Structures are given as C-alpha cells and as structure tokens.
C-alpha cells in the first residue's frame, strides 16, 4: 500500500531530481532511495551492535582465560 506524504526537499535537490528522473518515475525513485538509505542505516546500526558484542565477549573470554590459566598450564614445564 502506498501512502502520499508531503516532505520538504532543498530546491537544488529537486532540480537535480527533475533533470535526472522522468516525472512518471520520481515517486518510485524517491521510495527506492529512501529504502536503500534506511537499509544502510539499519546495517550500520547492526554492525555497531555486533562490534560492541564482540568487545564485551572478548573481555569475558579474557577474564575466563585468566581464571583457568593455572589449570590449563598444569603439568607443563
């Protein structure tokens, strides 16, 4: 389902859109551009969350390694 919206766009951007995209394709073009931008933002947010989770996991693993280091190296010269 499509919803009609009113948005404010800088005049220079509108001029460029008018020159680059046929008037019958503008709504689809803008919708696709928004979709791509939103997807990129979501992926970037996920990347940041994964990096933070990896950092936290590394800290946990490092602490756990320290606790088990004596047992792990037991019997080694």
Positive or negative, the CA dihedral 69, 71, 72, 74 is positive
pLDDT tens for 1-35 read 999 999 999 999 999 999 999 999 999 999 999 99
Q: What is the pLDDT of residue 77?
A: 65
Report pTM. Answer: 0.67
Backbone angles phi, psi at 3, to 5 degrees: -125, 130
All structural domains of the chain with their residue ranges? 40-68
pLDDT tens for 50-71 read 999 999 999 999 888 888 877 7
pLDDT tens for 27-55 read 999 999 999 999 999 999 999 999 999 99
């Amino acid at each position: 389902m499509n919803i009609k919206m009113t948005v404010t766009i800088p005049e220079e951007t509108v001029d460029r859109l008018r020159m680059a995209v046929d008037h019958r394709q503008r709504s689809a073009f803008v919708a696709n551009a928004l979709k791509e931008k939103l997807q990129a933002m979501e992926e970037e947010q996920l990347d940041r969350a994964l990096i933070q989770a990896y950092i936290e996991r590394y800290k946990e693993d490092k602490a756990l390694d320290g606790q088990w280091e004596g047992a792990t190296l037991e019997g080694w010269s």
